[in-house]
């Protein structure tokens, strides 16, 4: 009774072909599939490289713009300090020490 209920799950399928009889028909990596794969990988890698280059170029451009504004601001501050020092020296030599009114960059504007 138990023998009749047991089945053999490891049977071979009836319509199975052997690999030697099929020849090259079951070759998965044929030349027709490899060439587009290689071309796609090359184009994809070029796209990634140029996208990375573009993003780095944009970030460097933004950093350069920040540096240019900081340089312009600092140049204006240095010019104001130099003009304040030179006007203070001119005032002290012509009017005497301590008697001239010192002007600050805030008062000059």
pLDDT in tens, 14-50: 555 555 555 555 566 666 788 899 999 999 999 999 9
Residue 98: CB atoms within 10 Å: 7
The model's pTM is: 0.43
At 33 the pLDDT is 83
CA distance 96 to 89: 10
State mean pLDDT over 68-96. Answer: 87
Q: Percent of the chain beyond pLDDT 70?
A: 57
Domain range list for the chain: 30-90
CA dist 35 to 13, 30, 41, 49, 74, Å? 35, 9, 10, 21, 58
């Amino acid at each position: 009774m138990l023998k009749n209920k047991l089945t053999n799950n490891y049977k071979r399928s009836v319509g199975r072909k052997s690999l030697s009889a099929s020849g090259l028909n079951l070759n998965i990596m044929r030349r027709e599939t490899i060439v587009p794969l290689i071309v796609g990988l090359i184009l994809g890698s070029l796209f990634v490289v140029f996208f990375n280059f573009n993003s780095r170029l944009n970030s460097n451009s933004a950093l350069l713009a920040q540096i240019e504004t900081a340089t312009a601001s600092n140049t204006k501050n240095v010019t104001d300090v130099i003009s304040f020092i030179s006007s203070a020296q001119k005032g002290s030599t012509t009017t005497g020490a301590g008697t001239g009114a010192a002007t600050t960059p805030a008062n000059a504007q």
